[in-house]
Amino acid sequence: MNAFLVDIGGTWTRFRNGSNVERVATPSKLRHPHRASSALARELVLLLAERVPTNTDAHVSLGAAYDPETDIAYGSGPLWGTGRHDIPFRRLLERQRPDVRWTVTNDVTAGLAHFTKMYARSADRQVMYVTISSGIALRTAQLPSRRIHVNAEGLQGEVGHLPATSTAIEAVRGLTCECGGLGHIAAISAGPAIPHVAEKLGLDGYNQPRNSEDGAPTELDERLLRVIVEPIANLIRTAVALQPHIDLIGIGGGVPSGIGTRYKHELHRQLSTAQSYVDRQPNEGPRLLLVSPDQVRPENGAALMAQGYLENVK
Ligand SMILES: [Zn+2]
């Protein structure tokens, strides 16, 4: 019997049942800025509850900071807006559909699990997965122990709201983040930030076609591309400096996959520019792969996590 798989993002929710895939607009703060977070969370639970078949296994990838041990979703800017929400997401699903065996996994952890399954080699010591869409986060797994080291709240790599390392003009570095902070990585490099960065750069004619899941433009100005990639390149540079056993890095999410080859080339270009004597030669660094939503599916990763493919260790 096929399990029912769900990937909840700030923009879209994807349901996968065998070969059937359905994409539905997520009832999120991103789409409904004026709706109350509690109402949006309830609506999201009902959306899943009404689609899941009876008496099945359902594995959910949730785009929120989430501790699977305590079943607490702490928050998600794109889904529920700023602040802390403490939503017992799995229990809400169980209450609505007690006939279903639900599991819930953070979407970055789920992405890391599927990425590792698809691309890791047996000699890889650590694998890191970065997702850049309506939010930004990363997760690193230790191989071969298959452990993800997390803090007391079950979290690791919630980097989107760290200060961005950027050499852009001050107006860009001072952009307000969706969380209310200033100059965060997400305020420059996440999908919803791109039009604001363009405006600060004075790109008046910025009205590009958007066809990616998270609203990333398909074509954009060279300068804009350089600015939105820089905090990501610096984040990766920092992670690799601190964790030299990272052998494989995956970059996923709607922004890089929406922009495509140009994003990849710009990231490689910035990462291969030596900035100091400690920078390694390009061929000595970890393998860097940009992956599309077809290649790395968080909902498949949620199923892998339910099987214990990777283990969160506090
Ligand atoms: Zn922020």
Q: Which amino acid is at 176?
A: T
Label residue 271 by pLDDT band (50, 70, 90).
Answer: very high
Alpha-carbon dihedral sign for residues 116, 118, 120, 122? positive
Look at residue 221 and tell me whether its pLDDT is greater than 90: no
Q: How many angstroms separate the alpha carbon of residue 281 from the centre of ligand 1? A: 33
Ion ligand 1: residue ranges with CB closer than 5 A? 161, 177, 179, 181, 184
Q: How many angstroms separate the alpha carbon of residue 183 from the centre of ligand 1? A: 8
Write out pLDDT tens, residues 156-205: 999 999 999 999 999 999 999 988 899 999 999 999 999 999 999 988 65
The pLDDT value given to residue 190:
95
Look at residue 153 and tell me whether its pLDDT is greater than 80: yes
Q: How many angstroms separate the alpha carbon of residue 195 from the centre of ligand 1? A: 16
Q: How many angstroms separate the alpha carbon of residue 4 from the centre of ligand 1? A: 33
Average pLDDT over residues 244-253: 96
The pLDDT value given to residue 209:
47
Give the contacts of 243 (CB within 8 A, at least 6 positions apart).
126, 128, 140
Domain borders along the chain are 4-105, 110-290
Q: How many angstroms separate the alpha carbon of residue 175 from the centre of ligand 1? A: 10
DSSP state, residue 291: -
Q: How many angstroms separate the alpha carbon of residue 164 from the centre of ligand 1? A: 10
- Which is more confidently placed, 309 or 213? 309
Q: Are 42 and 29 in contact (CB under 8 A)?
A: no
Express as a percent the part of the chain with pLDDT over 70. Answer: 91
With b for 16 or more beta-carbon neighbours within 10 A and e for fewer, the 162-172 pattern comes to bebbbebeeeb
Q: How many angstroms separate the alpha carbon of residue 199 from the centre of ligand 1? A: 19
Q: How many angstroms separate the alpha carbon of residue 135 from the centre of ligand 1? A: 9
Q: Where are the beta strands (DSSP E) in 180-233?
A: none
Q: How many angstroms separate the alpha carbon of residue 314 from the centre of ligand 1? A: 25
How many Cα atoms sit within 13 Å of 162 on the Cβ side? Answer: 14
Q: How many angstroms separate the alpha carbon of residue 188 from the centre of ligand 1? A: 10
Least confident segment among 16-20, 145-149, 220-224: 220-224
Fold of 4-105: Nucleotidyltransferase; domain 5 (3.30.420)
Look at residue 206 and tell me whether its pLDDT is greater than 90: no
Write the Ramachandran bin of 22: left for phi over 0, alpha for psi from -120 to 50, otherwise beta.
beta
The pLDDT value given to residue 278:
57
The answer to whether domain 4-105 and domain 110-290 are alike in fold is: yes
Q: Are 89 and 62 in contact (CB under 8 A)?
A: yes
Q: How many angstroms separate the alpha carbon of residue 196 from the centre of ligand 1? A: 14
Homologous superfamily of 110-290: ATPase, nucleotide binding domain (3.30.420.40)
Q: Which two tokens stand for residue 250?
A: 């995956």
The pLDDT value given to residue 210:
52
Least confident segment among 73-87, 109-123, 138-152, 228-242: 73-87
Q: How many angstroms separate the alpha carbon of residue 261 from the centre of ligand 1? A: 27
Q: How many angstroms separate the alpha carbon of residue 136 from the centre of ligand 1? A: 10
As a whole number, the mean pLDDT across the chain is: 91
The pLDDT value given to residue 285:
82
How far is it, in rounded angstroms, from Cα 38 to Cα 218? 34
Q: How many angstroms separate the alpha carbon of residue 279 from the centre of ligand 1? A: 28
Write out pLDDT tens, residues 77-116: 889 988 888 999 999 999 999 999 999 999 999 999 999 9
The pLDDT value given to residue 204:
64
Tokens 């065998």 identify what position? 18
DSSP state, residue 182: B
Q: How many angstroms separate the alpha carbon of residue 66 from the centre of ligand 1? A: 17
Q: How many angstroms separate the alpha carbon of residue 177 from the centre of ligand 1? A: 4
Q: How many angstroms separate the alpha carbon of residue 100 from the centre of ligand 1? A: 35
How many Cα atoms sit within 13 Å of 159 on the Cβ side? Answer: 24
Write out pLDDT tens, residues 280-289: 555 678 999 9
Q: Which amino acid is at 297?
A: R
Tokens 């930004």 identify what position? 136
Least confident segment among 64-68, 103-107, 211-215: 211-215
Label residue 273 by pLDDT band (50, 70, 90).
Answer: confident
